[in-house]
Structure 1
């Protein structure tokens, strides 16, 4: 009986101690909340209290360092290409392509981090394995990861109808790069291979996109060879969902500089020339202009090793691979300006189900 009474007494004392500690903690929490409310109140800020200023500065610093969400990612899965465009800023310095299971693992990591749209690019993304590698990734992203939008940027020269039959249903948008509707101009730029007509390929792929219900898009780089061209009639005829118009961009080590495989200096147009081109085509409703200022920091670019590329310094400085350090760690070194991404219209209706297109 004595032992039982002692146990009950000990249990009672323990309960009292826990209750007292809870009360003390509640008082401390209430005091802290009151202090924080005072610290960040408009009256305190207006008074310029040193403690408030320091706390606000720390809070703003933390907000500025917030990890951006990789909602839209451009994965340059290969550097190899069958074209030799003189202004290309992702040139073929290596033939490396990730094993497909590693590529899928990286895409899964990106989905978990908030990716909604993936854009496959190159080089020429259809170059590797005749487009089979690309097709499997497109299918994986739409079918397994269930991403709202899966897109590709291609020069169009290596696409076969069989690819559309097999993988077209998994693809939302196919963008074909076309800088001129004059075949001689395309040859001067380097957007050609042998005797094949780039424009014939463009119109053929356009018809396949319509047949297999893939949204068709055009990308054009405006340079010294095409800046005076009037493309309005052809753009109206093709009627893409978007016509992305880029100002020729210089990236040190890629298309300029001693270690570069290209010298794009002769292709460069200034802001005034670029704006004149935009003004000439202003009536085209699907036109989406992108100056160098908008383009440099507002894209999340993954290279063939799945490293984010920071273009802020006029180069493409790589982070560590997301496969090694994760997305959150690697994206801190991407130089990505999320505000500029939103300002330039980086988020739009990018799922073909939502476009309500008249096929």
Structure 2
């Protein structure tokens, strides 16, 4: 007997990491995937991006009863969240992907480290985005250097330029939601983010405990993570806190080669599906684990959906 929908969600969010390339080298970066040399990253060919989005749009259409999630979730719209690496290394690809995603029925959002976000780029892509997520793990030069959030020329995130870009994107699209993403780690767990919050004025602040996918040296204890969260309790009206167990099997994610992947609950590293463009979204999705209840727990109380 088929069970009725257990959870109602306004939105289903699909995270596509379109590139592994990044201008920063964060020590705990999870955006590293096992590569199949015979399969190229989809951003090399525009038509492959379009094929992927069409395949995902059909499979994750709210009315598609063949999707196994249809019996666990009920959603009303689907959002494509573009991530990396650093997607704004390829601004024209991001712009075209956002445009095509909206054309075929997706809503769109973007996660960036903010270092390449200029006022000009903000205005070009701003009208097409529902959410802009900015990943910032410190406002201090020394902390950023220790973390690896510095480019090959030794340049750090320019916070004033970022502020101007955020102002520009809000002027272009007043309805956009700005979200700040912060990974709590061994370098920054004692930091005070008050000045940064005042500067960016995010609508949401996602606070994540560093996940030991590739490097365990930056992990924090439960007490250290709780200290960071408690220190910023005055921002709890905008905060979304995610500990490690909240992140396992709770995201819908695709890598640059168009494979579903998932955090493994038993070990560091990822589990992968076959490429969607080779076997189709339906077959590929069955090859990875996804916890619908955990997904809903992450999104509860956030009508726009957490980036």
Give the TM-score normalised by structure 2: 0.81
Query: Which residue matches 1:338?
Result: 292
Query: Which residue matches 2:149?
Result: 191
Q: Considering only aligned residues, what root-mean-square deviation do their CA atoms show, in Å?
A: 2.5
Query: Which residue matches 1:114?
Result: 60
Please, which moves more after superposition, 298-307 or 165-174?
165-174
Q: 2:27 aligns with which of 74, 77, 86?
A: 86
The aligned runs of 1:259-298 (5 Å cut-off) are 264-284=215-235, 285-298=237-250
CA distance in 2, matches of 1:346, 1:81: 31
The aligned runs of 1:213-292 (5 Å cut-off) are 213=173, 214-251=176-213, 255=214, 264-284=215-235, 285-292=237-244
The aligned runs of 1:50-61 (5 Å cut-off) are 59=1
Greater Rg over alpha carbons, structure: 1
- Long gaps (5+) in structure 1: 1-58, 256-263, 352-359
CA distance in 2, matches of 1:164, 1:350: 20
Query: Which residue matches 2:85?
Result: 123
CA contact (8 A) 1:79 1:93 kept: no
CA distance in 2, matches of 1:182, 1:140: 38
**Structure 1 counterpart SS, 2:54:** helix
CA contact (8 A) 2:119 2:164 kept: no
CA contact (8 A) 2:144 2:156 kept: no
- Distance apart, 1:347 and its partner CA: 7.8
CA contact (8 A) 2:15 2:254 kept: yes
Query: Which residue matches 1:303?
Result: 255
Deviations 1:149-179 (A, max 9, x none): 3111111122233323333211111111100
More strand by share: 2
- Distance apart, 1:145 and its partner CA: 1.6
CA distance in 1, matches of 2:134, 2:161: 10
Deviations 1:125-152 (A, max 9, x none): 1113xx101110001112x1232x3111
**Structure 1 counterpart SS, 2:162:** helix
Query: 1:346 and 1:295, CA in 2 relative to 1: closer, same or farther beyond 3 A?
Result: farther
Count, aligned residues: 273
Could you list the structure 1 runs, at least 4 aligned residues long, displaced by more than 4 angstroms after superposition: 92-96
Query: Which residue matches 2:68?
Result: none
- Distance apart, 1:236 and its partner CA: 3.5
Structure number with higher relative contact order (C-alpha < 8 Å, ≥ 6 residues apart): 2
- Long gaps (5+) in structure 2: 62-77
CA distance in 2, matches of 1:287, 1:318: 31
The aligned runs of 1:115-154 (5 Å cut-off) are 116-128=78-90, 131-142=91-102, 144-147=103-106, 149-154=107-112
